[in-house]
Structure 1
Amino acid sequence: MILMAPDSASDWIGVGVEAVAALATIATVIVAIFVAVRADRRADAAEKRADVAEQKLLKAELDRRRMQTVELRMELRKLRGDLPTHEHWLSVAESYGDEPRKAALGSELGVMRERISLIEEILAELGALEAELE
C-alpha cells in the first residue's frame, strides 16, 4: 500500500478522524492496562490482609487453648493434691462409724475422680488440637 498525501479537505478530515480514533484506542488500552494493574495490586493487598487476619485468629485460638490447658492443669494438680486428704478423712469417718460423713466423703471422692478423668480427657484432646493448629 502506497501512502499518499490527502488531496482535499475532506480527506484531511478523514485522516484526522482516523488519527484521533487510533489515539483514543491507544489511550483506552493504556487506561485498561492501568486499571487492571491497580485492581490486581488491590486484590493482592486484600489477600495479604486476609492472610494476616487469619493468622491473628489462629494465634488467638491457640493462645486461648493454651490458657485453657494451663487452667485445667492447675485444677487437675489441685484435685490430685486434695484426693489423699479426702481419702484420709474417709478412712477416719469409717473408723468412727460416721455413716453420713462417710457417704458425703465417698460421694465427694467419686466426683473428684470423675472430674480428674474428665480433665485428663480434655487435656488429651486439647493437646491433639494444639498440635493441629501449630
Structure 2
Amino acid sequence: NCGLNYFPSEILKLPSLTHLALRRNNITSLLKDIGFLSDLVYLNLRLNKLTKLPASIGLLSNLKYLNLSSNNLIEFPKSIGNLGSLKELNLSNNKLKNIPSSIGNLNSLEVLNIKANFWIQLPDNIKKLELESLDIIS
C-alpha cells in the first residue's frame, strides 16, 4: 500500500528476490522483463489495476504462489503453463472470460481461485490437474 502507479524497475536489480508483495497500489502493468526475477517464489499483486500480464511472467519457473486477485485482468497469457512449480493461483475478482488451456500443464497446482470473474470458460484439460481446492463461484 505504497500508492505506486507503476511497477518499480529497480526491483529487477534484485535477481535473488524470493518474495514480492506490491498489493493495494494502482499498478496498471508489469514490466516485460519481470521474468528476470527467476528466484521469485511468492508474488502478490492483489488489489491493483492490472489489465494484462506480459508473456515473460511464464519465465518465473520457481514461483509457487501467485495472487492477482482484485485487478482488472481481461486476459491471461498462455505462458502461464510454464509455471511448473506453481501451487496456488488466485485470479478472483477480475474480468476474465476464459483461462488458457496451458493451465493444464500446471502439474503442481493445488489451489485455483477464479471466483467473481465474468463467465469463465474452463479448458477441458483442467481435469488433468490434481487440485485440492477449486473456487469458481461467480
Higher relative contact order, structure no. (Cα contacts within 8 Å, ≥ 6 residues apart): 1
- With the length of structure 1 as denominator, give the TM-score of the two structures: 0.19
Which protein is richer in helix relative to its size? 1
Q: Radius of gyration: which is bigger?
A: 1
Which protein is richer in strand relative to its size? 2
